Amino acid sequence: MAAVEPSPSLFAGPLGAVESNPTALKVILGGKLRELRAAAGLDPSAVDVRLGFSRSKTSRIELGRHGCKPADAVALLELYGVSGEESVAEFLRLVEQSRRSDWWRSFSDVLSDFFAPLVALEGAAATIRTYEPFYVPGLLQTSAYARAVIESGPARLYAHDVHRRVELRRERQRQLDQPDAPRLWAVIDESVLMRTVGGPKVMREQLEHLTAMMQEPRITLQIAPLDVTASVGVGTGVTYLRFALNDLKDAVYIEHLTDSTFSQKPQVVEQYRDMLDRLGACALTPKNSLALIEERLSRL
């Protein structure tokens, strides 16, 4: 088996802020191990047998669903012919990083399984694109508005659970304050402005918050008039994650009534990216969107 050519790094470039995201690191490391395995001409089951792994362990590691232990990483790299001391050392450093606990795991008591993939990876995205037909996007909600939205849901929640969900939303928003924060491009349905969530005071505070956030260079907000959303045919909330690193595939999160779908299948991602492109092209410009929000504010 030919050894992989030693180099200072097994990765195309610095991972940057992604290094602080254990979930994203697991996916990246798994993808790199899959690439190395394929170059070595081995299939996952053969690797399981050669290294004495349990059945499908190699596949789970490659999918980022199973954390890679340092000893397993050493064995895999050796099997795949990676001999460069610096390459191995860097890989093991990232393995250690990936074994830390994600910040969002402390909210596991209120974080639904179907929502976890979005929360886990949105901080690692270069761009977050979202469309919301009913409410202001969670990343732009005030605490009072978020509380009103959560309390209006179909499930009856204790006050503690409502508070925890609001806190989770606030922690997600703090990711936008980081130096390498994702760029947020949000489109909301015009009806969102008409829906007085939580009462006039809460809604006024929320719209004032939107006007302030629209001054941030990393944030773009557009309002989609009713006739636009009727013609484009979105019908549901969508969030699209665009990653700058080739090791992370773009993803879409599609909301349903009682659950959601998180997909990284290229055909699904492309379909929703195209939809968001058409929606953004038809929506009001940010300048005209701001004027519409200010007009709504004047009526509250």
Domains of the chain: 16-98 (1.10.260.40), 104-298 (3.30.870)
pLDDT at residue 67 tops 90 = no
Write down the residue that tokens 């969508």 correspond to.
238
3-state secondary structure of 74: helix
Q: What is the pLDDT of residue 233?
A: 64
pLDDT at residue 203 tops 50 = yes
81 contacts 40 by C-beta, under 8 angstroms: yes
The secondary element (H helix, E strand) that includes residue 5 is: none
3-state secondary structure of 214: coil
Q: What is the pLDDT of residues 245-278, one digit of tens each?
A: 877 889 999 987 667 889 989 999 999 999 999 9
Q: Residue 3: which pLDDT band, with cuts at 50, 70 and 90?
A: very low
Q: What is the pLDDT of residues 221-251, one digit of tens each?
A: 999 998 887 777 667 899 999 998 877 889 9
Beta bridge partners of 222: 187
Q: Residue 88: which pLDDT band, with cuts at 50, 70 and 90?
A: very high
pTM recorded for the entire structure: 0.87
Q: What is the pLDDT of residue 1?
A: 43
Antiparallel, parallel or unpaired: β 127-132 and 238-242: antiparallel
Q: What is the pLDDT of residue 18?
A: 84
**Average pLDDT in the 130-139 region?**
95
What is the percent of the chain where pLDDT is above 90?
73
As a dihedral over the C-alpha atoms of residue 130, residue 136, residue 140, residue 142, rounded to 10 degrees, the angle is -160
